[in-house]
Amino acid sequence: MFGGATRRKAVAYYRHSAEDKQENSVPLQREQTQAFADKHDIEIIHEESDEGKSGLSASRPGFERLFDEWVLHESAEQFDYVFVLDWTRWGRWQDTDEAAYWTFICKKHGKQVVYIKVGFPEEEHKLLSSLETSIGRYMAAEYSRQLSDKVWYGSIKVSEQGFSAGGTAPYGYNRVLFDEHKQRIGVLKPGEHKVIANQRVTFEPATDGTQDIVKEIFTTFVSKWIHPRDIADSLNERDILSATGRKWDTSKVIRVLSNETYTGTRVYNKTWKRLKQKQHKNPAEEWVRTLDAFEALVDSRTFEAAQERLYWLIPSRWRYGMRKITRTQIAMRDYTAQLIRHYGEDERYAALKQLPVSYGLTYYRAGVAQRCFRITEDMRRYKNVIGVSISMFAKDTVDAVFSLPTEKFGVGDFLVLPDSDKSLANYLLDDDMTARELISICDAIPS
């Protein structure tokens, strides 16, 4: 209308991700947004959309264009509003300040973000509107957290049943598809995935020769004591490629030797990476292990022997072992302090300082667990000492606790207890026995 008020304008943004329900589809969002614009006599001059894109980050093509080509673009056609269906379509950022940040950018450039399911905020109810928006952002983020938890717990259950919860097969294995009745369908090629939710995927030895290379790597390392670097050189001389299709190196050989999957064990939850957040490694006690989930390429004795040799070969591993011992020492000290909390402060300090406890890492020889303990000469004045066996690879840090007669320690103050030792059961302590033994020892320590 000539001489009349200029009609207000808006740019609309729509988003629909794979996990969203159909009522959040882009056509339905467009229909509702257009109805809102008509009601308020606002012209929608442009639309941006993201189909199948997660709202956990701003890295979405349509969302980026909205800002690069419209909100921040000085030459773009003038408009007043950014229309979006609701807070969830704007994004499901886990940090709600990020949702507010993008809204503020729009405001800073003279564009008001309007959630059409809420409508225009009333001037006299600005505080209430702001609170409602904050709650909406939190609920949008919480939806993704709850959905992520459901997916994670579902993956845990699948792994506990011995099936794959995602990812690729390790070198030497194929991924195999089973139907909903657990009947084998066939081998999945790289990039192929199951098409029905209740189908399952597991591993089986490959038939292209790589399964034999895995066995060779373990046998060469364990039986012949060949260094991983030399194993890699040997494979490269024979033009045998690694899992990446490239030459072998020391780290790739060690990766094979360290992979518990080759014992037929399904291992899940070794790392954490959810909701677009930074990945980190989970402690071993949080891993989900399912034994005998599929055919093994290596028996457990060979794998354990490989871990023992890698432990002494790789400095980072024995440093990790030393850290485990230190953490266990602190835990034992705190535990004992609670048992003798009725002592006076000086008595408690003297008891803890002189506590005769020997810590040792469990290792394996010929598949048999060996527990090596060492005592100091000062400890020989006690009839028994506490031996705490620490496992490098098991879920629980403490493998076993023993009451060890000092007379059993030989030259060099060492005592090695293999699982095959028939007297082992005589020294083993359960939790209650450990507590009583610690109290008894502390009572005998002069203050």
pLDDT of residue 136: 62
* Greater pLDDT, 58 or 11: 11
Give the residue-averaged pLDDT of 1-26: 74
Q: Contact at 8 Å (CB) between 176 and 194?
A: no
Task: Return the minimum-mean-pLDDT range out of 50-64, 91-105, 188-202.
Answer: 188-202
In the chain, how long is the greatest CA-to-CA distance? Answer: 108
Q: Give percent of the chain above pLDDT 70.
A: 78
Give the residue-averaged pLDDT of 174-184: 83
pLDDT of residue 154: 53
* Greater pLDDT, 194 or 77: 77
pLDDT tens, residue by residue, 373-414:
889 888 998 889 999 988 765 556 788 899 999 998 887 788
* Burial 414-447, CB ≥16 within 10 A → b, else e: ebebeeeeeeeeebebeeeebeebbeebbeebee
Task: Return the minimum-mean-pLDDT range out of 18-32, 222-236, 249-263.
Answer: 18-32
Asked whether residue 308 carries a pLDDT value surpassing 90, the answer given is no
* Greater pLDDT, 138 or 217: 217
CA 74 to chain centre: 44
Task: Return the minimum-mean-pLDDT range out of 83-87, 213-217, 312-316.
Answer: 312-316
Predicted confidence band at 2 (pLDDT cuts at 50, 70, 90)? Answer: very low
User: Mean pLDDT score of the chain, rounded to an integer?
Assistant: 82
CA-nearest of 263, 329, 256, 315 to 293 is 263
CA-nearest of 185, 268, 261, 154 to 218 is 261
Q: What is the DSSP string of 336-374?
A: HHHHTTTS-HHHHHHHHHH--EEEEEEEEETTEEEEEEE
Task: Return the minimum-mean-pLDDT range out of 9-23, 45-59, 67-81, 96-110.
Answer: 9-23
Predicted confidence band at 94 (pLDDT cuts at 50, 70, 90)? Answer: confident
Measured in degrees and rounded to the nearest 5, phi and psi for residue 340 equal -115, 30
pLDDT tens, residue by residue, 423-444:
888 899 999 999 999 999 888 8
Burial class (CB in 10 A: 0-12, 13-18, 19+), 103: buried
Give the residue-averaged pLDDT of 2-10: 70
pLDDT of residue 1: 37
Give the residue-averaged pLDDT of 269-298: 70
Asked whether residue 200 carries a pLDDT value surpassing 60, the answer given is yes
